[in-house]
Structure 1
Amino acid sequence: MTDAILVLNGGSSSLKFAVFQWRDELHLLVRGSVSSIGDRPRLHVAPTAMTPPFDRSLGEQPISVGNAFEAVASY
């Protein structure tokens, strides 16, 4: 099992996330956000050395923070 740290920052309209791997130091594996939770939510993953950019709609209706977390976890 790889040691990893999941960082979450939930706000009123977004859920930001980052995953770091611990070896001799922290290495960013992936970061992104679910934005516009209360309107037309989107999952956005920023490009890193480990991941290509990714952006997709999560529908036309508002979602809960729990649903936003599920979208992040399923990514």
Structure 2
Amino acid sequence: MGKYLVSPSTHQAPNGRFGASFSFQRSPGNGSYCRVFRFDKTFASAEAARIFAVTQGWLQSSMPKPPVC
């Protein structure tokens, strides 16, 4: 997504539901960094978790100045 690389991921929780996460990487140039965002919310399907992760990644990459942890 532009100068960012967003990689969504899902994982199955012990209760059978699915969790969502994504990694957010900025390209080298102005200093590179990588952040991993994991969410507490769980979903009934892996597809729903993936859509959530993609949406959150898109929101993060569209911010003019992403927050730094």
With normalisation by structure 1, the TM-score equals 0.46
Select the structure that is richer in helix. Answer: 2
With normalisation by structure 2, the TM-score equals 0.49
Structure number with the bigger relative contact order (C-alpha 8 A, sep ≥ 6) is 2
